[in-house]
């Protein structure tokens, strides 16, 4: 039970009190239902960085001591939240009591008591054609009501949803869906993009599981979710700056002239001369985002950024258009619209040199040396992403070696110019038109196929780099392997944009924050208590229940961002934080459930279930859990500490299982390649990869796996079946 809950009963019991004796309830008019439910309705607002209202949604009371249910998308991430009841009373949100991104549900705790909870019914017993009533704040029209019927059930993005013949609008989200007896059967979630008189709701039974097992996060920590580290960055003039997968992401309009907003490095201004660089990608090329330098921390600064697809150098000397100068703007073919582009500025005493993707595009003389801070900027309502921000005396641009370029051009078969179409070539081909046009179209199709093969080759090379890094990490002795770094590289199998170093620094800072909260020379019990408080209570790390098999739960970087994961990924982060505090943890791979064993310097070891909020498991509970998973008591081997290599392989097996369930053979091959990189003698996995290679058309690779298995003659494999498979690979195709 959440220690912040003042009631003696679980919230689910409180919320369901009015749902007892359901059969005795009679249908009521819409007017009467609304009159009864209105005191339980809430208007939920979320402000933007400028303090003005950014979002508005609905909610309803589910516990008298201050629990309000709504949608996750209503409250978003990292924002203050305001709740106002129908009687006009406003309440402070003290915590996000529970949340689930997959189910799109959240429960807020407000500083109140004596509220009027709505009774919760059973969403599974809803019948097609049954009359229902939707309450909420559509388009900001507060405390509105509309009636309709249940028109069916639909799977939307792998979620079971109640389909409604009811017009829903923005602002309805999070409101209750009542049956004609006044019981909540669902939470209004979305309107149809196809027709106006169609909406969807999440079944109320999904909310009940959150009430039973909450994952509370104090509001002061919720506001920090996804926020930039203040030790590294300072935001100026608003907009929504946050981090994701090691990148900086920004949206929302800034408060400065032109919708301008800055994100400045917290480091001291560099001394001249210096260089700064960043990779940036814009969602809309009509926007603008890039580098700033010479900033006074407010309205004055220089900027170099693409706008409308052309790099621009500007100088802002104040807050309005009269103090803004465009120093230079150059269209260039080196800028790739819609792609990642590397911007770099060299700042000297009397000039700046600006480049895009390694090519100088602007050299501009200055009247005075630009002194001040450096960082990032965005303009208007631009959505942009930044990665690989650097400052230094010199920054070496990544270049492609000429011999590698020649090798790739040899693969292509011919060098194609990136410049405009030559007029003389058009003149030569014109007399043979339309034959020449048909030939060119056919050649274009060939090149498109070739480009697709090259993209696949690029992906394969990146995955090979990940496997090479895993191999390098494990050349060290097991005790010297950095498990956190290895797990981040594993996540790069599916996302090559992950900034491994950024996530390493983030975990180190989290451990430093825990240490700072402890007394000097704190003993092990105090360190463990500090870790638990930070991990579960302050940060809200919790087990994923609504979307357990989502691949994101197996990527430690996303688990760190979202505070939600599988037993093994949550345990890994918990152990790595503990290791940085000097605590002795080991991972135990119980069948079907990963747990952590804490071995103190003095006293008995403890088994900790991180997925269940850090609960200590007794020996009997461990036996019971394994019996439930396997039908028998755990063996001694099943309770032994896992090696770091084995932990990574188990994470890969989770990903492999998800890929198999989704019939994603490309992903299966990625994970099997990594498994065999870490455990080359995993014969069953090699046999599985051989089959997957054959199915994907890689006969040569399938033969290699089959030959290696036939040479090893491993026990446990059907060698006759393996020989038949190898013989089949030699048969000519029809």
| Gap between the Cα atoms of 687 and 585, Å rounded | 34
Q: Are 172 and 134 in contact (CB under 8 A)?
A: yes
Boundary of a domain, candidates 445, 473, 501: 473
pLDDT digits (tens, 9 = 90+) for 410-424: 554 544 444 444 555
CA distance 186 to 175: 9
Q: Which of 605, 627, 642 is the last residue of a domain?
A: 642
Which burial class, exposed, middle or buried, applies to 188 when counting CB atoms under 10 A from its CB (0-12, 13-18, 19+)?
Answer: buried
CATH code: domain of residue 93: 2.40.10.120
Is residue 304 within 8 Å of residue 290, measured between CB atoms?
yes
**DSSP-derived secondary structure letter, 311:** E
507 assigned to some structural domain:
yes
Q: Out of 392, 418, 452, pick the residue that ends a domain.
A: 392
Q: Which two tokens stand for residue 289?
A: 């985002």
Which residues, 6+ apart, have CB-to-CB distance to 349 below 8 Å? Answer: 272, 273, 369
Distance CA 577, CA 556 (A): 13
What are the pLDDT digits (tens) for 606-662?
Answer: 999 999 889 999 999 999 989 988 889 889 999 999 999 999 999 999 999 989 888
Which DSSP letter does residue 598 get?
A: E
Domain contains 5: no
pLDDT at 707: 95
The mean pLDDT of the chain is: 85
CA distance 256 to 259: 5
- Per-residue pLDDT tens for 130-139? 999 988 875 5
Q: Is residue 50 part of a domain?
A: yes
Does the pTM surpass 0.75? The reply is no
Pair 691, 665 in one domain: yes
Q: DSSP letter for 120, please.
A: B
- Count how many domains the chain has: 5
Nearest to 264 by CA among 239, 235, 241: 235
Asked whether residue 204 falls in the same domain as residue 274, the answer is no
Q: Looking at residue 718, which CATH number applies to its domain?
A: 1.25.40.10
Q: Give the tens place of pLDDT for each residue, 242-261.
A: 877 668 888 878 888 888 99
400 inside domain? no
Please give the residue that has the higher pLDDT: either 117 or 144.
Answer: 117
For the chain, percent helix, then strand, then coil, each to nearest 5? Answer: 35, 30, 35
Q: State the CATH number of the domain containing residue 626.
A: 3.10.620
Domain span at residue 597? 478-642
| 288 and 365 together in one domain | yes
Confidence of residue 352 (pLDDT cuts 50, 70, 90): very high
Domain membership of residue 1 (yes or no) is no
Could you tell me which of 490, 480, 478, 500 has the C-alpha nearest to residue 645? 478
708 and 606 housed in the same domain: no
Domain identity same for 37 and 135: yes
Residue 60 · residue 135 · CB < 8 Å: yes
- Asked if residue 522 and residue 375 are part of one domain, the reply reads no
Confidence of residue 581 (pLDDT cuts 50, 70, 90): very high
DSSP-derived pairing of the beta strands 542-543 and 564-565 = parallel
Pairwise CA distance, residues 93 & 86, whole Å? 16
What pLDDT is recorded for position 287? 86
Token pair, residue 660, equals 């198999």
Rg (the chain; Cα; Å): 30
In a domain, 410, yes or no: no
Q: For residue 401, what pLDDT band results from cuts at 50, 70 and 90?
A: low
- Helix ranges restricted to H, 474-521: 483-491, 500-516
Q: Are residues 251 and 326 in the same domain?
A: yes
Locus of tokens 């921390």 = 297
- 514/442 same-domain check: no
Span of 26-35, 69-78, 193-202, 322-331 with lowest mean pLDDT: 193-202
Contact between 217 and 106 under an 8 Å Cβ cutoff? The reply is: no
652 and 627 housed in the same domain: no
Q: State how far the Cα of 215 lies from the Cα of 647, in Å rounded to an integer.
A: 26
> Could you read off the pLDDT of 664-716 as tens digits, one per residue?
888 999 999 999 999 999 999 999 999 999 998 889 999 999 999 999 999 88
DSSP structural state of residue 559: H
Same domain, 486 and 591: yes
pLDDT tens-place string over residues 591-608: 989 999 999 999 999 999
CATH number at residue 284: 2.60.120.560
**Residues 633 and 651 both lie in one domain:** no
List helix spans (H) across 334-434: 402-412, 423-429
Say how far apart CA 561 and CA 552 lie, in whole Å.
10
pLDDT band at residue 12 under the 50/70/90 scheme:
very low
Whole-number pLDDT of residue 6 = 34
Indicate whether 524 and 562 sit together in one domain.
yes
Q: Is 38 helix (H, G, I), strand (E, B) or coil?
A: helix
Measured distance CA(688)–CA(679) in Å, rounded: 14
Give me the DSSP letters along 605-656: -EEEEGGGTSEEEPHHHHHHHHHHHHSSPPPTGGGSBPPHHHHHHHHHHHHH
- Taking residues 450-464, report their average pLDDT: 79
Query: How many CA atoms, within 13 angstroms, populate the side-chain half-sphere of residue 89?
Result: 14
Detail the DSSP E strand segments found in 442-592.
542-543, 564-565, 585-590
pLDDT category at 1 given cuts 50, 70, 90 is: very low
User: For the residues 352-362, what does the mean pLDDT come to?
Assistant: 95
The model's confidence at residue 328, banded by pLDDT at 50, 70 and 90, is very high
**Would 574 be classed as within a structural domain?**
yes
- Rounded to the nearest 10 degrees, the angle between the axes of helix 567-580 and helix 500-516 is 60
Domain-embedded: residue 420? no
């Amino acid at each position: 039970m959440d220690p912040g809950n003042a009631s003696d009963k679980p919230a689910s019991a409180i919320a369901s009190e009015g749902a007892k004796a359901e059969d005795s309830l009679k249908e009521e008019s819409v007017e009467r239902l609304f009159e009864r439910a209105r005191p339980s309705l809430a208007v939920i607002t979320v402000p933007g960085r400028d303090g003005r209202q950014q979002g508005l949604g609905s909610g309803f009371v589910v516990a008298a001591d201050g629990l309000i249910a709504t949608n996750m998308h209503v409250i978003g991430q990292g924002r203050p939240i305001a709740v106002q009841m129908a009687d006009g009373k406003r309440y402070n949100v003290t915590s996000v009591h529970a949340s689930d991104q997959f189910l799109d549900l959240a429960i807020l705790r407000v500083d109140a008591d004596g509220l009027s909870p709505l009774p919760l019914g059973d969403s599974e017993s809803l019948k097609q054609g049954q009359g229902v009533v939707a309450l909420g704040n559509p388009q900001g029209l507060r405390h509105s009501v509309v009636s309709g019927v249940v028109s069916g059930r639909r799977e939307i993005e792998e979620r079971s949803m109640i389909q409604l013949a009811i017009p829903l609008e923005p602002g309805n989200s999070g409101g209750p869906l009542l049956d004609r007896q006044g019981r909540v059967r669902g939470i209004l979630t979305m309107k149809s993009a196809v027709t106006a008189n169609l909406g969807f709701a999440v079944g109320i039974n999904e909310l009940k599981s959150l009430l039973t097992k909450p994952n509370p996060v104090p509001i002061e920590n919720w506001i920090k979710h996804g926020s930039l580290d203040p030790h590294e960055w300072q935001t100026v003039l608003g907009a929504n700056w946050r981090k994701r997968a090691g990148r900086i992401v920004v949206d929302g309009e800034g408060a400065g002239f032109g919708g301008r907003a800055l994100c400045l490095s917290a480091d001291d201004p560099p001394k001249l001369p210096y260089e700064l660089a960043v990779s940036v990608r814009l969602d809309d090329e009509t926007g603008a985002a890039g580098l700033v330098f010479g900033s006074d921390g407010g309205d004055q600064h220089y900027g170099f950024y693409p706008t409308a697809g052309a790099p621009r150098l500007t100088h802002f000397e104040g807050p309005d258009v009269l103090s803004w100068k465009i120093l230079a703007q150059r269209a260039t073919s080196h800028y790739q619209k819609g792609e990642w582009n590397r911007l770099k500025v060299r700042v000297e005493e009397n000039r700046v040199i600006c480049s895009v993707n390694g090519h100088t595009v602007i050299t501009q003389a200055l009247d005075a040396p630009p002194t001040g801070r450096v960082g990032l900027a965005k303009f208007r309502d631009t959505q942009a992403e930044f990665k690989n921000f650097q400052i230094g005396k010199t920054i070496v641009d990544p270049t492609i070696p000429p011999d590698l370029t020649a090798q790739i051009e040899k693969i292509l078969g011919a060098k194609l110019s990136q410049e405009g179409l030559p007029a003389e070539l058009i003149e030569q081909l014109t007399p043979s038109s339309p034959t020449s046009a048909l030939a060119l179209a056919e050649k274009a199709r060939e090149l498109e196929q070739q480009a697709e093969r090259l993209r696949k080759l690029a992906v394969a090379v990146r995955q090979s780099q990940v496997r090479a890094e895993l191999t390098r990490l494990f050349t060290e002795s097991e005790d010297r392997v950095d498990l956190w770094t290895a797990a981040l590289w594993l996540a790069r199998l599916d996302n090559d944009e992950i900034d491994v170093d950024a996530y390493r620094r983030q975990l180190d800072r989290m451990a430093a924050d825990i240490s700072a909260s402890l007394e000097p020379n704190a003993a092990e019990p105090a360190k463990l208590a500090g870790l638990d408080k930070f991990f579960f209570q302050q940060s809200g790390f919790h087990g994923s229940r609504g979307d357990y098999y989502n691949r994101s739960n197996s990527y430690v970087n996303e688990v760190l961002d979202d505070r939600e994961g599988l037993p093994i990924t949550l345990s890994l982060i918990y152990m790595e934080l503990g290791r940085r505090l000097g605590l002795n943890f080991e991972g135990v791979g119980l069948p079907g459930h990963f747990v952590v064993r804490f071995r103190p310097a003095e006293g008995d070891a403890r088994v900790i279930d991180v997925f269940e909020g850090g609960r200590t498991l007794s020996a009997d509970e461990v036996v019971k859990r394994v019996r439930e998973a396997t039908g028998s008591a755990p063996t001694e081997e099943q309770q032994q500490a896992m090696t770091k290599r084995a932990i990574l392989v188990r994470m890969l097996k989770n990903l492999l299982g998800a890929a198999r369930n989704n019939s994603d053979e490309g992903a299966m091959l990625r994970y099997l390649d990594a498994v065999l990189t870490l455990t080359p003698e995993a014969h069953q996995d090699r046999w599985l990869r051989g089959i997957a290679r054959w199915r994907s058309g890689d006969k040569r690779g399938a033969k290699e796996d089959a030959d290696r298995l036939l040479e090893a003659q491993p026990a446990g494999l059907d060698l006759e079946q393996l020989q038949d498979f190898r013989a089949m690979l030699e048969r000519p195709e029809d």
